[in-house]
Amino acid sequence: MNEWRKDLGNFLAEEQVLNKFQINRFFPLIEGQAQAVVQPTDRSEISSIVKIASKHKLALVPVSSSYDFHGSTLSSQQSIIIDMSQLNGTISINKSFDGMSVDIEPGLTFRKLNKSLEEDGFRVITPIRMPADTSVLSTYYGRYPLLEANRHGYEQDWMLLTYMFTNTDGEMVATGSDGLETGTPQGDCPFSPRMDVGRLILGGMGAFGIVSQASCKMKYRLNEYEFLFCESDNLQKLVQDTRKMTLSTEAAQSVLLLDNKMLAGLAASSIETYDKLTNNLPKWNAIFALGGESDLIEVERKDLEEAAADHNLSLSRDAPTTGLEVMLKEEFTKPTSAINHFEYDPHVRVEYYSTAGRLSSVRGAVTEYLQSVGVNEDEQIGFLMNSIELGRTYFCEYDIFYGERNIQPDNLPMIGEVDLLQLYRGMYQTVMDNGGIINVPRNSIVSELVYKRTELQPYYQSLRRLKGVMDPQNILHPSMLFNGEGGIPSNIGGA
């Protein structure tokens, strides 16, 4: 038996150290190198696991969710997965007007948390294109885009107030007001009278520390929802018109623009209805989501209808297919469409951000690239956009549909003239070459494409220096810096 296994066995039960684990079927482009999965049940066990990993120089990859659509938890080095799903409790809820926050553990899901909060009229904001059984903390910590970004431009880490993390020495560190002896009983505050190392931990995506607890903002529950729809054959015109409408009215919790395949994935209840909807739905669709009290919804609806008339845009209260309103309501509390869509039509995602002004040039370049490699964009590619801060920026997602199920990294299907991995790389490269922004490189493939760019070398070398300080043995999620490349030793604070 390996020495590290013996050390783990000194404080973990046999069932907490797993030698068998499921291959990530949602992201078949990378083969993980995990040697084992350990499942801590409290923060002290996280600390002990990190100390053992540091002692034996073992790479640690933190995992909180059952679903990984991006390959974020697949390491390019021999590693141990530290599965936080057993830490799935609500520690405390501050319901006061001054507080409105909830302290949670990393394995707690949106489904479980929102179910417990809704009884008291609260909720936490769900992400776009992620299922309800996803970890709240890993979603916010991982900076996944949020569904209700149109009006306020919600940022993911803005939803986190304070948090605790474990550093590579196994020490527990608290940020914000949690790090003060007195704390703030009236509510958690992310600020405190010292330099904020916590932002570095968030930005490190598990490469600088392992978050083990956090305080999240709560919002009031939306009692009612209503949706307005419009369609077009021209995406660019639809983008321009919807942005003019939202800028002039500042209405709608969210504004989604998506093609027929993505809308079919949201609305379908079976693979049969998915295929039918894909063929029958309009090419481009916009969905305005209104939420709150009925009188507020009525005001916003009238504002949007008047703005639509001013821009000669046809806005309808009737959904383009039966049952869509029910599925949309679920997306705001207990979303399921991401899993359903994958089951109906397996795909991998290419995600980026774009300003409205850059959108057409990025999409035009991607279309040219797809044509150059023989890919039929209408049949094999899906596209979705989510408005952020009234269309100032858009979260954009291409889906590459590859059709086959249970494929392996060593036997990827051909799409057009290239295999799935080549197409994935090529689309990301084209997006970046034409001004698309990769907010988070979620796997070693994308991180290499991002950090090898000439203009990002100063930034990348700065990250490596920080990695050398925070994690000198390079044991925490090494694949966040491509190929597991370690940090640069630094004399910061030393001789």
DSSP per-residue string spanning 105-165: -TT-BHHHHHHHHHTTTEE-PPBTT--TTSBHHHHHHTTPPBTT-TTT---TGGGEEEEEE
Query: Residue 83 above 80 pLDDT?
Result: yes
> Cβ-count burial of 81 within 10 angstroms (0-12 exposed, 13-18 middle, 19+ buried)?
buried
Query: Residue 36 above 70 pLDDT?
Result: yes
More confident residue, 68 or 376: 376
Query: Residue 411 above 50 pLDDT?
Result: yes
Query: Residue 122 above 90 pLDDT?
Result: yes
Given pLDDT bands bounded at 50, 70 and 90, which one contains residue 275?
Answer: very high
Residue 138: the pLDDT is: 86
Residue 112: the pLDDT is: 94
Query: Residue 181 above 60 pLDDT?
Result: no
Query: Residue 212 above 80 pLDDT?
Result: yes
Given pLDDT bands bounded at 50, 70 and 90, which one contains residue 494?
Answer: very low
Give me the mean pLDDT over the 381-394 stretch: 92
Query: Residue 65 above 60 pLDDT?
Result: yes
Query: Residue 1 above 70 pLDDT?
Result: no
Give the fold, CATH level 3, of 224-444.
Answer: Vanillyl-alcohol Oxidase; Chain A, domain 3 (3.40.462)
Give me the mean pLDDT over the 160-183 stretch: 77
Going 24 to 29 to 35 to 37, the CA torsion angle's sign is negative
**Contact between 92 and 102 (Cβ < 8 Å):** yes
Residue 489: the pLDDT is: 59
Query: Residue 444 above 90 pLDDT?
Result: no
Residue 226: the pLDDT is: 94
C-alpha–C-alpha distance, residues 24 and 343, integer Å: 14
- Which residues share a beta bridge with 386? 256, 395
| Mean pLDDT of the residues in the chain | 86
Query: Residue 337 above 50 pLDDT?
Result: yes
Given pLDDT bands bounded at 50, 70 and 90, which one contains residue 77?
Answer: low
Give me the mean pLDDT over the 137-152 stretch: 82
Question: How far does Cα 53 stand from its chain's mean position?
Answer: 27
Half-sphere exposure of 480 (CA within 13 A, CB side): 26
Q: How much is the pTM?
A: 0.91
Residue 105: the pLDDT is: 94
Query: Residue 183 above 70 pLDDT?
Result: no
Give me the mean pLDDT over the 305-324 stretch: 90
Given pLDDT bands bounded at 50, 70 and 90, which one contains residue 483?
Answer: low
Residue 78: the pLDDT is: 74
Closest CA to 465 of 493, 440, 492: 492
High-pLDDT (> 90) share of the chain, %: 48
Of the listed ranges 187-201, 244-258, 375-389, 433-447, the one predicted with least confidence: 187-201
Longest dimension (CA), the chain: 73
Given pLDDT bands bounded at 50, 70 and 90, which one contains residue 100?
Answer: confident
CA angle 97, 103, 108 (to 5 degrees): 125
Token code pair at residue 136: 């709240």
